[in-house]
Structure 1
């Protein structure tokens, strides 16, 4: 990859400034030793003054891009004035993805309009035409096998227009190219105009196919608009899996068409629900942004509210709760009730109709033997029907009995025996996993620590993994405990540097190819729609770059770009928490630890 090595130069240009001296720009930036350095504008430097965004585009190895590209990355040294009102897309017509591409391009145009500060207007500039060549424009479903790669080239045409050429195998790659293109366009606050790099060549593709966010919407209800904001952030960061933990023991906000009574009894209120229309709208909203919605129905534990009248839940809000579950309210399915599986089949059918999943998450975490063991009807059934005792091994057999029957009912509703994701648990321990969860069917999502021996054991047994190790990727950690004094159980807080440093390749070693990727997980005991943005962003973007690029460098090398990306998220209306004083953004290199040797770069403007 070429690293530009030249001095900063600008070709003089005629600029229009406000007649008010107070509104004239005061500061300019120069790229010196890989960082943008702030100096005063003088009469001699006024015409060549470089704005901070313009300097950032060319200063440092990857400019303003997030996540960093994985293959070729080159930009020339010139900027062109861009006409916001003259931007067009050429995309294959009458294909299955044509409508998606048009909506993605509309979002791209909105992103550019969002770069212009309120009250400012831009005039003139070059027209931009985006030409997309897509090998298979009929692919509209994102799977682990979907090609998300793209090539983006920018050049000036003979008629003065700017050409952005996109080559990809699918819509999803083309969409990522648009995201990169949007990051190569800036608002120059010195000249009050949009600018685009004149020359660029980028070849890019993700390292991992599963780059996700888990959001729990049951502990506290998260409004659809807040979910959409996070999907916007995922799109801006090239993440592709929204794992929807939609129900739990605390509430049942998912409106099941077949079993609406569960929501009537289990939702916090009649307005805090996800209807069929809500779900379909969110799925399409995410698809336009290159994100697949992955549903989870967690069982046999983590059930309670909504099931009061069924008789299918043991230990429902049992007290003292710590004897029956990990947090209140308790609740766990009674596997011995035959009618339970009819209800599950109906719920699975409703989810399959809505989500059309090619992979399904069945949960399976934190099953309590003490709950089942304290329910006399369950213990009696185990003895009478199965000749089982009351040992831990016997309760694993009961758990497998439930899982097998539940899976059978799910597969009645799917068109094929799709892969199943389950959390690490007692069922995935070495003495149980191969007997009960065949690696041809199950993908294991790891929530334990990064170097838990269970990870290597599962990899050695041929399982594919998704990493959500809580010591780096649980975004709810580091706040006050709500069921005990002090801090919550997974403290301390996981800063973006910890998230960024969580490398699947390092964790898996020689088994890296069996790791599908990772998810940042936000459990919402202490989060709701008012605070969800800041808990997720910009930390999830750190995971995005790790999974897209698996960079060989550490978080310090990405620090300036992370600060820029956080500002990008803020501009999109996402309330991403601040990482440093704004002074650090405007004085690059003075806040991070010294000693990084990044190459200087040149920029010219015509």
Structure 2
């Protein structure tokens, strides 16, 4: 990374832009941005200009009797415009929404940066302001056909941004998604003035940027606790603002089945915690579309054959070892136990019906489908009347058959399968060359996955499990309580942002195989997380993960990225998230961000 600091350090402590661009040069000239300034977009053979008023009027008003003359949200406006269930947004629509979102961020979801200046700081005087005169947005190439649902590495997300001292702005990219990333960076150059208005103190600016990894995501478990569509949209907003591009939805598990399957309605009717805690087919289509609109691919996971006991509430004949008590830990990782029977024609018929319903509704919005495969307990099959064995020699070929039939149907639907690492490394299955293997247990596992020639997703639980460190959610009988005191969870301690930031997804992988590591995900399992605390559980630790996945874990000199350099920028990113309605936790108190290096141990001038 190339970086030039052109003014005294204490004049401005944070240096904007998260995640860190590949090259970033800036000065110290203050420029202002007017709400009337148009965004001139050149692409697909035409030029269009957008102002705030355009977006107030532009196709976002409903004409229904129930809402006559009332303005709906831009998100709702875009939902109305799409062809439900069958069509992802076009690149044009993605850019239109990105321009709207950029203006909304700069003028209505911004913050006064007092926390990043010393106490005697004086704001620039708007009366003396020089205003940005033009914003030019240009796509240099036509989008690939599947711009909204790309396979990893098939879309160029790079961009260039220039802001001259005279107030001319240009954002260029080779794809619509690159334009989205450039507009996100553009918003991070600006701050709110306490008297109103938006300005940047950093002109001139030259940025050239591209991601290190093509898969950069958050995995959220919505089965152990339910999160409303609005919660998920807010998470997607934050994810996209951190330039992440994958939202992995762990949508079903043993505890609940909250996803409506219209052809199998009892799955959610009986499997959800409550009849209203369900993602309807319309909700699901909206969520996928809203993700794609922001250059984020929603990846759906239906975990199996383990973690499926919620199916027993509607189809008990399909599940073995259901809710075994009291010694449930013999049969599963957490209650309620239950696994799909492994040699059952009824299970296969069920899966065919499930995939026939769900996969066509995923296909317009994603290139992937996740079939799970983690933590399958062999002892559960002792209770499976189609197997009655926990012998690996008996189970392994049946598991191979089970995965093969699932993946065959997934491929036939035009999707690429993803599995958890156990299917490859524990069950020793032969997986198709296209199958992506998601690792969670160790760096050694990542090395083994790529060593077998598979593409891998990293996410070591000792660094990127965001649920760790909250203590046990289980209760303990007095007869065993003492041996578990002080009741730490298995992955304690709490993984703070510095630990997350220190993780290198390529740390165990030889250089010759690093191209097989597509990227990774931070994981938010929800045993102790619900809508009340989800924002602070993910953010800004998720932002630390985002920078590693966008910028890489090493700097240009091959050193681990500096937490000293990152801390003020991450504190600033936290303020930007809060301004956008995300309840992200603070990084440091204002005293530290205002004073530069004083909140450090071992610092030497």
TM-score range, shorter chain: 0.7 to 0.9
Select which of 408, 413, 430 maps to 1:437: 430
Confirm whether residue 490 of structure 1 aligns to residue 491 of structure 2: yes
CA distance in 1, matches of 2:507, 2:311: 43
Conserved 8 A contact 1:92-1:137: no
Match of 1:523 in 2: 525
Confirm whether residue 424 of structure 1 aligns to residue 421 of structure 2: yes
Confirm whether residue 330 of structure 1 aligns to residue 342 of structure 2: no
Conserved 8 A contact 2:267-2:314: no
Select which of 245, 257, 277 maps to 1:252: 257
Confirm whether residue 312 of structure 1 aligns to residue 318 of structure 2: yes
Shift of the 405–5 alpha-carbon distance from structure 1 to 2, 3 Å rule, reads closer
Confirm whether residue 171 of structure 1 aligns to residue 176 of structure 2: yes
CA distance in 2, matches of 1:408, 1:308: 27
TM-score (norm 1): 0.81
Shift of the 328–79 alpha-carbon distance from structure 1 to 2, 3 Å rule, reads same
CA distance in 2, matches of 1:204, 1:165: 14
What is the CA distance between 1:542 and its match in structure 2?
0.4
Match of 1:16 in 2: none
5+ unaligned residues in a row in structure 2: which ranges? 47-89, 113-124, 476-483, 556-560
Conserved 8 A contact 1:564-1:585: no
Shift of the 527–153 alpha-carbon distance from structure 1 to 2, 3 Å rule, reads same
TM-score (norm 2): 0.82
CA distance in 2, matches of 1:116, 1:496: 23
Partner SS for 2:462: helix
Conserved 8 A contact 2:190-2:198: no
What is the CA distance between 1:421 and its match in structure 2?
1.2
Conserved 8 A contact 1:91-1:133: yes
Shift of the 219–458 alpha-carbon distance from structure 1 to 2, 3 Å rule, reads same
CA distance in 2, matches of 1:390, 1:304: 18
Query: Which deviations, in whole Å up to 9, do the C-alpha atoms of 1:407-438 show, x marking residues without a partner?
Result: 233334x13xx43211121x3227x53xx233
Q: Counterparts of 1:246-395 in structure 2 under 5 Å?
A: 246-310=251-315, 311-320=317-326, 321-356=328-363, 357-379=366-388, 390-395=390-395
Confirm whether residue 400 of structure 1 aligns to residue 400 of structure 2: yes
Match of 1:115 in 2: 110
Partner SS for 2:564: helix
CA distance in 1, matches of 2:507, 2:411: 35
Confirm whether residue 544 of structure 1 aligns to residue 572 of structure 2: no
Select which of 200, 221, 229 maps to 1:224: 229
Match of 1:601 in 2: none
Shift of the 5–282 alpha-carbon distance from structure 1 to 2, 3 Å rule, reads closer
Query: Which deviations, in whole Å up to 9, do the C-alpha atoms of 1:457-510 show, x marking residues without a partner?
Result: 322221211011110011000012012550222111101011111101223232
Instruction: Single out whichever of 349-358 and 509-518 deviates more from structure 2.
Output: 349-358
Query: Which deviations, in whole Å up to 9, do the C-alpha atoms of 1:46-105 show, x marking residues without a partner?
Result: xxxx6xxxx246xxxxx21111112x3211331212213334232426894212211111
CA distance in 1, matches of 2:95, 2:283: 22
Shift of the 196–163 alpha-carbon distance from structure 1 to 2, 3 Å rule, reads farther
CA distance in 1, matches of 2:42, 2:282: 29
Select which of 455, 462, 482 maps to 2:453: 462
What is the CA distance between 1:232 and its match in structure 2?
1.2
Shift of the 407–5 alpha-carbon distance from structure 1 to 2, 3 Å rule, reads closer
Q: Return the structure number with greater relative CO, CA threshold 8 A, min gap 6.
A: 1
Shift of the 192–438 alpha-carbon distance from structure 1 to 2, 3 Å rule, reads closer
Match of 2:55 in 1: none
Confirm whether residue 532 of structure 1 aligns to residue 524 of structure 2: no
Partner SS for 2:375: coil
What is the CA distance between 1:193 and its match in structure 2?
4.9
Partner SS for 1:250: coil
Match of 2:122 in 1: none
Match of 2:68 in 1: none
Query: Which deviations, in whole Å up to 9, do the C-alpha atoms of 1:499-540 show, x marking residues without a partner?
Result: 111101223232221111110001101111111101100001
Match of 1:592 in 2: 600
Conserved 8 A contact 2:369-2:410: no
What is the CA distance between 1:377 and its match in structure 2?
4.1
Match of 1:44 in 2: none
Conserved 8 A contact 1:265-1:307: no
CA distance in 1, matches of 2:343, 2:4: 68
Conserved 8 A contact 1:299-1:362: yes
Match of 1:68 in 2: 20
Shift of the 155–461 alpha-carbon distance from structure 1 to 2, 3 Å rule, reads same
Conserved 8 A contact 1:147-1:172: yes
Select which of 93, 101, 106 maps to 2:100: 106
Conserved 8 A contact 1:533-1:575: yes
Conserved 8 A contact 1:56-1:64: no
Select which of 181, 197, 207 maps to 2:212: 207
Conserved 8 A contact 1:472-1:494: yes
Query: Which deviations, in whole Å up to 9, do the C-alpha atoms of 1:26-59 show, x marking residues without a partner?
Result: xxxxx34xxx2xxxxxxxxxxxxx6xxxx246xx
Query: Which deviations, in whole Å up to 9, do the C-alpha atoms of 1:298-339 show, x marking residues without a partner?
Result: 110111224334211111212121121110011100122212
Partner SS for 1:585: helix
CA-atom RMSD in angstroms: 2.5
Instruction: Single out whichever of 350-359 and 254-263 deviates more from structure 2.
Output: 350-359
Instruction: Single out whichever of 232-241 and 484-493 deviates more from structure 2.
Output: 484-493
Conserved 8 A contact 1:259-1:343: no
What is the CA distance between 1:223 and its match in structure 2?
1.2
What is the CA distance between 1:163 and its match in structure 2?
2.6
Instruction: Single out whichever of 90-99 and 395-404 deviates more from structure 2.
Output: 90-99
Partner SS for 1:84: coil
CA distance in 1, matches of 2:98, 2:28: 28
What is the CA distance between 1:194 and its match in structure 2?
2.8
Match of 1:28 in 2: none
Instruction: Single out whichever of 351-360 and 332-341 deviates more from structure 2.
Output: 351-360
